[in-house]
Structures are given as structure tokens and as C-alpha cells.
Copies of this chain bind each other. A is one copy, B any other.
Amino acid sequence: MDRVKLCFIGCGNLATQLASAFAPCATILQLYSRTEASAKALAEKVGAPYTTDIKALTRDADIYICALKDSAFDEVLSKGDFKNKLLVHTAGSMPMSVLASYTGRYGVIYPLQTFSKNKTVDFAEIPLFIEACDGQTLDYLHSVANLISGKVYRVNSEVRGKLHLSAVFASNFSNHMYALAYELLNGSGLPFEVLLPLIDETARKVHSLPPKEAQTGPAVRYDTNVIDKHLKMLADDPQLADIYKLISTDIHERG
């Protein structure tokens, strides 16, 4: 395979991480962002030119990788010219078919990870979920995805949607539980760091046990003594008390 030539459309967290991962093994021809500051920052990071005018995008790339937020897709893509070009998106919950109105060649590369702009992640271990308009394009995307990750899976839009929903629970919602713990610990004089070995072990445990079997604590034992004490402690924050009640009930009922 010749060195692949890429354009990135969007310069947010995901584009930043993906472009950084591809930079050593692909040619990043050009970047586009509506926001000059984002475009410039990523352009400097990966040593590529940028534009804020989608009509000025080069026609010479092998793949155009769209990493915009879902709601910005049409506004940006409808103004560009992707005819006969391979256009892929990177979103969990958008069906591949949304790209069909811009070009006849399209696909998806969805990396299952939580990305922050300033925290580099190791792509080698990140599963990439790919889909394409036809078998030849799918094989091509597979080889390109393999440049950065050893874990490439072929899934359709429906499975990718389920995966994204699962990921919201496994990552965004578990992170929110950390955020609530952080808030609860605030004012006790103890730093959040004391919770880190617990957080790490909780994550480590599900490598060897299904999460249901790994569960511990008052809810799974349905220890109403402790649960009632906790609800009293949360009395001045009714929404937090509701979250406690609902999750405890759910742990007990599905346990």
C-alpha cells in the first residue's frame, strides 16, 4: 500500500488524537475546522496545512475523515465537494448512510475511546469499528485502520449504535460516578486521590469477572441500614439522593 493521504474535517478531541496517531504512518495533506484556533493548533501538532474554508479543501486525499460533532455534519459536508472521493465519519451513533448524499464511496472508522485534547492515548490497544459502502472499500479501510490499531472490527451501523450506547454507560456514566464521589469528598479534608486505588481496582476487576459478579457494597447486599444512613446524608441534594436510590434499586433487582 502506498503511503495513504488523509484530510481531516474537524479538529476537536477525536480529530486531534486520530491525526496524531496517523501522523507517523500516513501523510496528512490538510486539516479543516470552522474554528481557526483549533485548526491552527492541530496543524502545528501534526505539521500539516489547514483551511477554514471547506470549499478550499484539496481534492488529492485518499480518505476524508470527518470528525465533526453529529449536528454539524450536514452544514459542513454539503458545502464541500466529495464527489468520487472516499469520505468516512468517526461517530458512534450516526448510521453510515448519512454520507451517501455527498459521495458514492463512504465508510466509518469509529474508535471506541474517550478522548481529551491534551491527553495522548495509545491507539495500538484501542478497538476501531469499521464499516464501508462495499467490500473493496471495507478491505481498504481495514488496512488503513490497521496502521494505527491491531484491533479492527467490522460492524454495521446498528451494532455500532449499541456499542456507543454501551460506551456511554461504561465511560461517561462511570466517570460521572467518580465526579459525584469527588463532590461528596469535598470538604471532608481528604483528597480525591484516596479513592484512586479503589477506582483502579474496580476497573481491573472486570478484566477477570463479569461486572455483576464483581459487585460489592450495601446495594447488592441490600443492607437497608447503610442505605438509609446514606440517603439521610444526601437529604440536602434531592437529585443526588434520587440517583442513589435508583441505582441501588437497580443493582438489587438485576443482581
Contacts and interface: CB of A to CB of B under 8 A. Distances in A.
B119 A168 contact: no
Contacts of A171: 198-199, 201-202, 216-217
Given A167-B198, A198-B167, A215 B181 contact: no
A207 B196 contact: yes
Interface of A: 13, 69-71, 93, 112-116, 119, 121, 125-127, 151, 153, 155, 159, 161-185, 188-190, 192, 194-203, 205-212, 214-221, 223, 225-226, 229-230, 233-234, 239-240, 242-244, 246-247, 249-251, 253-254
User: By CB atoms of chain B within 10 A, which of A167, A175, A196, A199 has the most?
Assistant: A175
A112 B166 contact: no
A201 B114 contact: yes
Contact of A254 (B93, B179, B197, B203): B179
A63 to B, nearest CB: 23
Contacts of A197: 112-113, 125-127
A200 to B, nearest CB: 6
A177 B179 contact: no
